């Protein structure tokens, strides 16, 4: 593998579509290998903008705007970092010869809960919760009867828990309908899923390229309002469940194809493993790998993109805690207690230019046995404030 210098006629260029905290870490890894980094987001001074050679503000939902910047910059690899991107632009870019990671069809399938669910359950035969797709309130009520209560209602196009709710009885459906309507994305269609009474849920980070597929140790996580708050690695699993989890991860990532890392989300009950969803990019719960692995999920993503070997070592247990802003500010300050800067813990601050209540601003990382790391992460994150 030859590594050229950035900003030369022969440089290797990556374009990040979405420049949040995950993109920022990918950009830093790219800088370490001498790649030229072009970071795109819909607002100025997004996290990855600060560590890129060029930063552009583009409406990523606008097909022509995305294609214009792609044609202008001519990246070797286009790395979608978020879901809200014009899929038509990605298909067109691919047709014009650009390399979309992992590929435009995989992005298309995974950005829509209906597409990925039908693909996983009906084409690949993976075990999932029972589900029904609905477009009207009447269909929603009928779906509740079919999948049973409690059930989980989600817009087919949404992320981070937006528009999502649990209905425990038929009378809850009216409220679920209202919540879904307010969600961002195309809320016209909903998926109604039977509630899986899982023992725990994991992310199986899976990196692949044409030569190999590797799995990270399973990551356990805790969600609040559809958003991750704590994650730890490894999640203790039975050998049978771990094996099944890897098999499902291999099947779905082979099915989607292409190069890159995937966050495969799974529910585990006893030795049973249910496929939930998959993101074809680094996963927020995987930030814990910044402290547990010789190659973080971001480094592995880049290696997979470049077609490099995917070998890495698991250094040891760890945990992460997301810090979310309490305040609205146009000049946010993340106030970190110095005790966090310890031999076994540190913080990564995302450098977001504005804060609003609930916005993820930083992550605490702790290296220790899982139990100790998790309880320390829980404690340390309370020692951060913002203003
Ligand atoms: P999602 O946006 O689909 O990743 O859902 C966010 C979180 O809601 C998951 O990580 C689970 O904790 C929970 N959840 C989603 N779907 C189900 C389900 N069918 N059964 C139980 N919990 C669920």
- 191 C-alpha to center of ligand 1: Å? 12
Q: How far is it, in rounded angstroms, from Cα 102 to Cα 227?
A: 24
Residues 81, 210, single domain; the answer is: no
Residues 45, 165, single domain; the answer is: no
Domain extent for 74: 13-100
pLDDT tens by residue, the chain, 387 residues:
899 999 999 999 999 999 999 999 999 999 999 999 999 999 999 999 999 999 999 999 999 999 999 999 999 999 999 988 999 999 999 999 999 999 999 999 999 999 999 999 999 999 999 999 999 999 999 999 999 999 999 999 877 778 999 999 999 999 999 999 877 555 579 999 999 999 999 999 999 999 999 999 999 999 998 789 999 999 999 999 999 999 999 999 999 999 999 999 999 999 999 999 999 999 999 999 999 999 999 999 999 999 999 999 999 999 999 999 999 999 999 999 999 999 999 999 999 999 999 999 999 999 999 999 999 999 999 999 999
Answering whether pTM is above 0.75, one says: yes
Six-digit token string for 99: 């390399």
Q: What are phi and psi of 235, to 5 degrees?
A: -80, 125
How confident is the prediction for the chain on average, in pLDDT? 96
CA-based nearest residue to 23, from 352, 250, 254, 325: 352
Instruction: Please name the residue that has the structure tokens 């079919």.
Output: 146
Q: Is 167 in the pocket of ligand 1 (CB under 6 A)?
A: no
Q: Whose CA is nearest to atom 16 of ligand 1?
A: 152
Q: Is 133 in the pocket of ligand 1 (CB under 6 A)?
A: no
Residues 314, 298, single domain; the answer is: yes
Q: Which of 12, 285, 292, 320 is catalytic?
A: 285
CA-based nearest residue to 166, from 181, 150, 190: 150
For residue range 10-68, list pLDDT tens digits in order. Answer: 999 999 999 999 999 999 999 999 999 999 999 999 999 999 999 999 999 999 999 99
Q: Is residue 149 part of a domain?
A: yes
Q: Is 42 exposed, middle or buried (0-12, 13-18, 19+ CB in 10 A)?
A: middle
Is the Cα dihedral 257, 36, 299, 322 positive or negative?
Answer: negative
Residues 182, 205, single domain; the answer is: no
Q: Is residue 340 part of a domain?
A: yes
Q: How far is it, in rounded angstroms, from Cα 370 to Cα 367?
A: 8
Residues 190, 285, single domain; the answer is: no
Peptide bond just before 257 cis, omega within 30 deg: no
CATH number of the domain to which 95 belongs: 3.40.50.20
For residue range 291-336, list pLDDT tens digits in order. Answer: 999 999 999 999 999 999 999 999 999 999 999 999 999 999 999 9
Q: Is residue 304 part of a domain?
A: yes
Q: Which of 54, 161, 185, 329 is catalytic?
A: 161
Residues 214, 174, single domain; the answer is: no
Residues 372, 226, single domain; the answer is: yes
Provide the domain count of the chain.
Answer: 3
Residues 164, 266, single domain; the answer is: no
Q: How far is it, in rounded angstroms, from Cα 155 to Cα 280?
A: 19
- Sequence-separated (6 or more) residues with CB below 8 Å from residue 218: 202, 203, 204, 233, 234, 235, 237, 242, 245
| Best residue among 226, 265, 268, 279 to mutate for probing ligand 1, ranked by most atoms within 8 Å of CB | 226
- 32 C-alpha to center of ligand 1: Å? 36
Query: Quick check: is 265 catalytic?
Result: yes
């Amino acid at each position: 593998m030859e590594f050229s210098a950035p900003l030369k006629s022969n440089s290797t260029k990556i374009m990040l579509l979405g420049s949040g905290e995950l993109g920022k870490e990918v950009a830093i890894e790219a800088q370490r290998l001498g790649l030229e980094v072009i970071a795109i987001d819909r607002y100025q001074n997004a996290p990855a903008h600060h560590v890129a050679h060029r930063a552009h503000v583009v409406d990523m939902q606008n097909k022509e705007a995305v294609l214009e910047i792609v044609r202008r910059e001519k990246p070797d690899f286009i790395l979608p970092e978020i879901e809200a991107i014009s899929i038509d632009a990605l298909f067109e870019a691919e047709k014009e010869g650009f390399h979309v990671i992992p590929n435009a069809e995989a992005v298309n399938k995974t950005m829509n809960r209906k597409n990925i669910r039908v693909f996983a359950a009906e084409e690949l035969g993976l075990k999932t919760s029972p589900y029904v797709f609905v477009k009207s309130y009447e269909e929603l009520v009928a779906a509740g009867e079919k999948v049973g209560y409690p059930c989980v209602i989600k817009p087919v196009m949404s992320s981070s828990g937006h528009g999502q709710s649990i209905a425990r009885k038929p009378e809850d459906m009216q409220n679920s309908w209202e919540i879904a309507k307010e969600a961002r994305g195309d809320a016209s269609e909903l998926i109604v899923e039977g509630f899986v009474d899982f023992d725990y849920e994991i992310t199986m980070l899976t990196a692949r390229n044409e030569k190999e597929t590797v799995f990270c140790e399973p990551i356990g996580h805790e969600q609040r309002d559809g958003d991750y708050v704590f994650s730890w690695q490894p999640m203790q699993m039975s050998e049978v469940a771990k094996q099944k989890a890897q098999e499902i991860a291999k099947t779905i990532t082979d099915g989607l194809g292409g190069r890159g890392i995937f966050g495969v989300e799974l529910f585990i009950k006893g030795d049973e493993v249910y496929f939930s969803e998959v993101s074809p990019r680094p996963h927020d719960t995987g930030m814990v790998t910044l402290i547990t692995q010789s190659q973080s999920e971001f480094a592995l993503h880049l290696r997979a993109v470049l077609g490099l070997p995917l070998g890495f070592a698991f250094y040891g247990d760890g945990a992460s805690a997301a810090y979310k802003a309490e305040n609205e500010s146009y000049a946010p300050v993340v106030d970190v207690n110095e005790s966090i800067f310890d031999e076994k813990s540190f913080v990564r601050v995302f450098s977001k230019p504005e804060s609003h209540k609930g916005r993820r601003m930083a992550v605490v990382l702790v290296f220790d046995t899982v139990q100790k790391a998790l309880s320390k992460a829980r404690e340390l994150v309370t020692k951060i404030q913002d203003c």
